Structure 1
């Protein structure tokens, strides 16, 4: 079974454009949704995403909805720990493809990391 992992200097998940995620209110609480929307820059990217380094500038203190961990995914999507890897991998593949295309170096690196 593949194991989800973040691929350094990808940043696809930092593209927060709410028009790409019309169901936000179905999995974020009202305060989370407000926080999420406050992070979206004019270009649709998180205001804390550094495009030059392709890294989060607040990684250690990022909001819970930015974290791929069992309690977060259980609360937001009803996904139990046993299904986390499969669900998170599918989410990342979809997001990476929508931002960078398929094929892309980012998607290739992601696949190399989760399907060694």
Structure 2
């Protein structure tokens, strides 16, 4: 069975381009929405992403909407904890495909990492 995990040096989820996420207001509070927009930098990339290492500079203090956690996903998206694994895998695959392509090294590394 495939098991979700974050793949180091990917950063696809750090592509925050609001044009690609028109439903932000449905799951972010007004304060979170303001924070989200403040994090969008050049080319839609998060200002906290080190583009060289593809690592988050604020990982330990990242906002709630940047965390994959059963309680957060249930609260924000209505995803039941037992559905989180499959949901997170699908989300990552869609985001990686949109940012890097479906045959990218990032996609291959993610699929291998989660057991697909």
What range describes the TM-score normalised by the shorter chain of this pair? over 0.9
Distance 2:3 2:27 in 1: 23
Aligned residue number for residue 2 of structure 2: 2
The normalised TM-score by structure 2 is: 0.97
Q: Which residue of 2 aligns with 1:13?
A: 13
Offset at 1:42? 2.9
Aligned residues: 116
Aligned match of 1:95: 95
Distance in 1 between residues matched to 2:42 and 2:112, nearest whole Å: 33
Question: What residue is the counterpart of 2:55 in the other structure?
Answer: 55
Task: Tell me how far 1:102 sits from its aligned partner.
Answer: 1.3
**For residues 85 and 37 of structure 1, what CA distance do their matches in structure 2 show?**
27
1:78 equivalent in alignment to 2:78: yes
The 4+ residue runs of structure 1 with deviation greater than 4 A are: none
Q: Which whole-Å CA distance do the structure 2 matches of 1:2 and 1:111 have between them? A: 9
* Aligned equivalent of 1:40: 40
CA distance in 2 between partners of 1:101 and 1:25 (Å): 27
Could you say what the CA RMSD is over the residues aligned between the two structures, in angstroms? 0.9
CA distance in 1, matches of 2:94, 2:58: 24
